[in-house]
Amino acid sequence: MSNNSSHITEYKVLGRILLILMFFTFATISVTSFNLASFTVTVALLIAGIKGYFVLSYFMHLKYENLLLRILVGMIFVLFALIVLITFIDYSYR
């Protein structure tokens, strides 16, 4: 059931997360200068996944939500990863 108490994140923490996100944005751009062949999409999605984790956890306060909600959101990421993986079973072996 719902957790009615709201959590206020400190500006300091939010600032740190912002810096982390900027670092990974820089990494997303930098990594395109390397030829990673079939791993290009994997690396791009991995970086995007890490950024998504920080946004969800801190900016969207998922870190302070109840366990059920965290599991459900986690399962969405697993599902997304599976869909991408299965699609690439086609592209990798075609």
Partner 1 sequence: MSNEVNKIEYVSYLEHQGRFKGLKSWIFATDHKRIALLYMYAIAAFFFIGALLGLLMRFELIAPGETIMKAQTYNGLFTVHGVIMIFMVVIPGLSAVFGNFFLPILIGAKDVAFPRLNLFSWWIFVFGSVLAVASQFLKSGPPDTGWTFYAPYSTTTGTSVIIATTAAFILGFSSILTGLNFLVTVHQMRAPGMKFFNMPLFPWAIYATAWIQLLATPIVGITLLMLIAERLFGIGFFDPNLGGDPVLFQHLFWIYSHPAVYIMILPAMGVITEIVPTFCQRKVYGYKAIALSSLAIAGVGFLVWGHHMYTSGMSENARWFFSLLTFIVAVPSAIKVFNWISTMYKGSIDLKPPFLFALAFIFLFIIGGTTGLILGSVATNIQVHDTSFIVAHFHYIIFGGMGFAFFAAIHYWLPKMYGRLYNFRRANIACIIMFIGFNTLYFPQFVIGIQGMPRRYFDYLPQFQTGHMISTIGGVILIFGLFYMLINLIKGARKGPKAPANPWNGSTLEWQIPSPPSLENFDEPFEVKANPYDYK
Residues near partner 1 (CB under 8 A) are: 1-2, 76, 79, 82-83, 86-87, 89-94
- In terms of Cα–Cα distance, which of 10, 13, 18, 8 is closest to 64? 8
How far apart CA 82 and CA 78 sit, in angstroms, is: 6
Q: How far is the CB of 94 from partner 1 (least distance, A)?
A: 4
Instruction: Decide whether 34 or 88 has the Cβ nearer to partner 1.
Output: 88
How far apart CA 10 and CA 41 sit, in angstroms, is: 34
How far apart CA 69 and CA 84 sit, in angstroms, is: 23
Q: How far is the CB of 69 from partner 1 (least distance, A)?
A: 8
Instruction: Decide whether 17 or 64 has the Cβ nearer to partner 1.
Output: 64
Instruction: Decide whether 30 or 66 has the Cβ nearer to partner 1.
Output: 66
